[in-house]
Structures are given as structure tokens and as C-alpha cells.
């Protein structure tokens, strides 16, 4: 073996420096935290960097391309302040909970429609969602969850038999004996006793909150403790007024007020009531349902919608009704630029439940207005440019990969069909 000359040593040293330079340029930059130690709004490169209840995401439509740890789970308010009437709480609701991006279609069902959520109903419930908005129709001698044209369910708007989703709800209630779930049905079921038969088949009848116990003149509801003790942990509302007398399913607008859905419900400075609803400041009902989602759902816009505009709209609707909304319904509930709908629901619950600015400041067992100091997180310096949120936001192994192409294709096909039927 020939000895190395000074020329060879200099060449090897130069090559070594080049390798180090290339590695420093192309290798991923490590973040200041990792392995589950990153906190809310700290820079991250992967979901595994973030702590429990967080995922690694960003919000390019709001100009925030730096991935940070983002909230993905709600704090269930009864875990902090328990024992109050049901109508004192604010609950997170998913709009068209069944309309899930890239969910595998059933055989023979070609789905061509808009989507509103990104993970399973089971996962929504696990992440703290406590209200489900479901559209139900008679279809193929069964009751299905559908989007529709003028109240008609077609093959390309059908998602799945409703029993599938209701079975998920039953499993969750069975596994979580202190939790309460509300279902709001946009009801196009005309089969006699169709709804009660469906819920009985799903095993949900044993949790049913009876209409006879619902307040009729704006009084408080039973406490959440009483509801759990009686196992009345499923509240069901229908948009069909006839179902209350026929099947014992509560007519929605007899017990709650509701603002307008779609674009009118997200217009800054305005919170109009839905036409079927009583005035938002009516004292004859005990519940206030706030819709907050645009007419046409766009995944990539949801993170921006769930920041400052959401805070402003909650304030606007609070002023219009004079009370805090009990339900907040959104599309793509997990998308935000940080705290999103979860922070909003915390801030809605805090003043009502404990007299504090946010649920995080409430102290279990403390007197009303006794609040602990809560530090407000700030965005970390941009120390990492690697990675971005491009996958599903659900905390489940069955997470599908997100795609925008199918939504564009669906819209191009859906638009002329809308023009045809309307």
C-alpha cells in the first residue's frame, strides 16, 4: 500500500469537507424538540415529535407554512367541572359527521359528492366530539346516510347504511359510561317507525333520553350527573316535527334555537337565525346550536376558518342570543393553525362553567370565579423547515391519505348535476 502524500491528504480533507457541506444542506434539520416532547405551537417535523393530543401540521392558506404541534383533541368539559345542567355546557359537533374524505365506498356505490370530515365517527368521538349531524334517508329498503338532491338519496350521494355509524356510537357509549352524545338528524325517513326501529337495532334505545324529560319552557335540563345515573346518555333530535308524536323523537326546534347554516352562518358581524328556529334570544328553549361552516367545504381553508374568524363569530352569536352556544358545529374539526375549534370550545365553556376565561383555568371543586393562571403559548421560532401536514389528522391506524384531486373532480361533476335537479 502506497503511503499518502501531503497532496493526497489535502484532497481527502477537501472531499471530507464537501461531504459535510452536502450533508448539512440536504439532511433534515432536527427540531429543538422531538420524541413526543414538543408542546403546542412548537416546531415539529413529524407527528411523533408532538405530545399527547397534538399532531404536526401547518396552515399554508393563512401564510403559516412552518409545521407546528397543533391540537387534535378536545378537553371534555365534564372532566373539569361536573354536575351542572346539560344546557350549561358547550359541546363540539361535527357537521355531516358521516361524510368522510376517502372513506372506502361500499360495493356498487360510486360516491360523487362533497366531504366534511376526515376521520371515522369512532375517532371523532374519541377526540372529544360530542354531537353528530347526520342526514338520513330511505334508500334501497333501508335507512342510509346521504347527501342528496331535493331530499332524494341517489347511488352517487349515498355513504352507507345508518346502522353502521349508529353501531359506532353504541360501542363508544358502552366503552365510556360517563359520556353523553347528541345526534341531530336531518330527517328524510318516511318509513313508519323507521327511526325508532333503527336505533333499537343499533342497541341505542337503552341510552335514549326521553322526550318527556326535556324542558318545555326554557328551564334547565337535568344535570349531567343525573343523566349518567339514569343512563340517559343519548339525546336525539329530528328535523321532522311529526316524529315526536309518532316515535318519541324530539323535534329539534322545539327545544333549541339555531343560527343559519352555510355561508350566512360565517358572515362576519352577522348571526341570523335559521328560518325554522325561534329568535336566537328566545327564552322559551334551553339550548342554542351554532352552525359555523361555509356552504361549500374546502379542507385547505378550514385551518384558516378555525382561527380568528371563528373567535369573532362565536362572539357575534353570543351577543345575538344573549347566551353561550351549547353546540358548535364545524367541518374538518381537526384543522387549524394551532388551537382551533378545541381552544374555541374551551373559551366558550370557561365563563359559563367556572367564571374563567377558558376551561383550562377552571379548578375542579373551586368556587365560581376562582381561576388558576394559565400561560398563553406563543409560536416557537422557525427552527425546522422539514415536513408539513399532508396526511390524515386522525389518531388511528386506518387513517387515509388526503387528496384534493377527488374533491375537484367531484365538484366538476356535481355542479352540472346540481343545475339539473335544482
Q: What is the pLDDT of residue 401?
A: 30
Answer yes or no: is 55 within a domain.
Answer: no
Which residues, listed in sequence order, are joined to residue 56 by a DSSP beta bridge? Answer: 69
- Backbone φ, ψ for residue 162 (5° rounding): -60, -25
CA of 119: how far to CAs of 51, 85, 104, 332, in Å? Answer: 20, 30, 12, 9
Q: Is 371 helix (H, G, I), strand (E, B) or coil?
A: coil
CATH number at residue 178: 3.20.20.190
The CB density around residue 312, as the number of other CB atoms within 10 Å, is 13
Could you tell me which residues come within 8 angstroms of residue 255 by beta carbon, excluding any fewer than 6 positions away?
214, 215, 237, 285, 286, 287
Nearest to 277 by CA among 323, 321, 309: 321
Could you tell me which residues come within 8 angstroms of residue 328 by beta carbon, excluding any fewer than 6 positions away?
90, 91, 92, 93, 290, 292, 314, 341, 344, 345, 348
Place of cell 335507512: 143
Helices (H) and strands (E) in the chain, counts: 10, 12
Cell digits for 388? Answer: 408539513
Answer yes or no: is 368 within a domain.
Answer: no
Q: What is the pLDDT of residue 379?
A: 38
Cα-Cα-Cα-Cα dihedral sign, residues 55, 392, 73, 308: positive
Q: What is the pLDDT of residue 410?
A: 41
- What is the rounded distance in angstroms from the CA atom of residue 277 to the CA atom of residue 232? 25
Residue-level pLDDT, tens digit, the chain, 422 residues: 444 444 444 444 444 444 433 333 344 444 468 888 999 999 999 888 999 889 999 999 999 999 999 999 999 999 999 999 999 999 999 999 999 998 776 766 666 678 999 999 999 999 999 999 999 999 999 999 998 867 788 888 889 999 999 999 999 999 999 999 999 999 999 999 999 999 999 999 999 999 999 999 999 999 999 999 999 999 999 999 999 999 999 999 999 999 999 999 999 999 999 999 999 999 999 999 999 999 999 999 999 999 999 999 999 999 999 999 999 999 999 999 999 999 999 999 999 999 999 999 999 889 999 999 987 554 333 333 322 233 334 333 333 333 333 344 344 434 443 343 33
Could you tell me which residues come within 8 angstroms of residue 422 by beta carbon, excluding any fewer than 6 positions away?
149, 150
With 0-12 / 13-18 / 19 or more C-beta atoms within 10 angstroms meaning exposed / middle / buried, residue 344 is buried
Residue range of the domain that includes 339: 74-360+392-421
Answer yes or no: is 18 within a domain.
Answer: no
Q: What is the pLDDT of residue 396?
A: 35
CA of 58: how far to CAs of 92, 142, 209, 308, 405, in Å? Answer: 22, 41, 40, 16, 20
Domain count for the chain: 1
* CA 19 to chain centroid: 47
Q: What is the pLDDT of residue 377?
A: 53
Answer yes or no: is 59 within a domain.
Answer: no
Could you tell me which residues come within 8 angstroms of residue 355 by beta carbon, excluding any fewer than 6 positions away?
368, 369, 370, 371
Cα-Cα-Cα-Cα dihedral sign, residues 117, 203, 345, 70: negative
Answer yes or no: is 372 within a domain.
Answer: no
With 0-12 / 13-18 / 19 or more C-beta atoms within 10 angstroms meaning exposed / middle / buried, residue 102 is middle
> Any idea what DSSP says for residue 39?
-
Answer yes or no: is 60 within a domain.
Answer: no
Whether 329 contacts 133, CB under 8 Å: yes
- What is the rounded distance in angstroms from the CA atom of residue 36 to the CA atom of residue 39? 8
Q: What is the pLDDT of residue 376?
A: 57
Give tens-digit pLDDT for 165-209: 999 999 999 999 999 999 999 999 999 999 999 999 999 999 999
- What is the rounded distance in angstroms from the CA atom of residue 76 to the CA atom of residue 126? 10
Could you tell me which residues come within 8 angstroms of residue 27 by beta carbon, excluding any fewer than 6 positions away?
none
Amino acid at each position: 500500500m502506497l503511503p499518502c502524500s501531503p497532496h493526497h491528504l489535502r484532497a481527502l480533507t477537501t472531499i471530507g469537507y464537501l461531504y459535510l457541506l452536502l450533508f448539512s444542506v440536504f439532511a433534515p434539520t432536527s427540531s429543538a424538540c422531538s420524541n413526543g416532547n414538543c408542546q403546542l405551537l412548537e416546531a415539529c417535523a413529524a407527528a411523533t415529535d408532538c405530545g399527547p393530543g397534538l399532531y404536526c401540521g401547518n396552515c399554508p392558506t393563512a401564510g403559516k407554512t412552518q409545521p407546528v404541534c397543533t391540537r387534535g383533541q378536545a378537553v371534555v368539559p365534564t372532566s373539569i367541572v361536573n354536575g351542572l345542567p346539560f344546557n350549561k355546557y358547550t359541546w363540539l359537533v361535527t357537521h355531516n359527521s358521516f361524510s368522510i374524505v376517502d372513506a372506502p365506498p361500499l360495493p356498487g356505490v360510486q360516491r360523487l359528492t362533497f366531504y366534511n370530515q376526515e376521520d371515522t365517527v369512532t375517532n371523532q368521538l374519541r377526540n372529544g366530539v360530542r354531537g353528530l349531524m347526520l342526514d338520513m334517508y330511505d334508500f334501497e329498503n333501508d335507512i342510509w346516510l346521504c347527501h342528496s338532491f331535493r331530499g332524494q338519496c341517489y347511488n352517487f350521494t349515498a355513504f352507507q347504511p345508518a346502522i353502521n355509524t349508529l353501531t359506532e356510537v353504541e360501542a363508544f357509549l358502552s366503552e365510556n359510561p360517563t359520556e353523553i352524545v347528541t345526534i341531530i338528524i336531518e330527517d328524510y325517513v318516511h318509513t313508519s317507525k323507521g327511526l325508532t326501529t333503527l336505533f333499537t337495532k343499533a342497541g341505542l334505545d337503552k341510552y335514549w333520553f326521553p322526550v318527556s324529560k326535556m324542558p318545555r319552557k326554557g328551564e334547565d335540563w337535568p344535570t349531567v350527573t343525573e343523566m349518567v345515573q339514569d343512563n340517559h346518555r343519548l339525546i336525539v333530535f329530528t328535523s321532522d316535527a311529526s316524529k315526536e308524536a309518532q316515535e318519541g323523537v324530539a323535534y329539534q326546534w322545539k327545544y333549541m334555537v339555531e343560527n343559519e347554516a352555510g355561508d350566512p352562518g360565517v358572515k362576519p358581524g352577522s348571526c341570523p337565525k335559521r328560518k325554522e328556529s325561534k329568535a336566537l334570544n328566545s327564552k322559551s328553549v334551553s339550548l342554542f346550536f351554532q352552525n359555523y361552516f361555509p356552504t361549500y367545504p374546502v379542507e385547505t381553508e378550514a385551518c384558516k376558518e378555525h382561527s380568528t374568524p371563528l373567535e369573532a363569530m362565536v362572539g357575534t352569536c353570543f351577543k345575538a342570543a344573549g347566551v353561550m352556544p351549547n353546540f358548535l358545529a364545524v367541518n374538518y374539526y381537526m384543522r387549524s393553525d394551532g388551537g382551533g375549534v378545541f381552544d374555541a370550545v374551551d373559551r366558550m365553556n370557561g365563563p359559563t362553567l367556572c367564571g374563567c376565561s377558558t376551561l383550562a383555568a377552571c379548578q375542579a371543586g373551586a368556587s365560581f370565579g376562582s381561576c388558576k393562571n394559565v400561560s398563553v403559548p406563543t409560536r416557537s421560532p422557525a427552527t425546522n423547515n422539514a415536513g408539513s401536514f399532508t396526511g390524515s389528522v386522525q389518531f388511528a391506524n386506518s387513517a387515509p391519505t388526503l387528496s384534493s384531486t377527488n374533491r375537484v373532480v367531484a365538484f366538476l361533476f356535481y355542479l352540472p348535476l346540481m343545475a339539473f335537479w335544482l
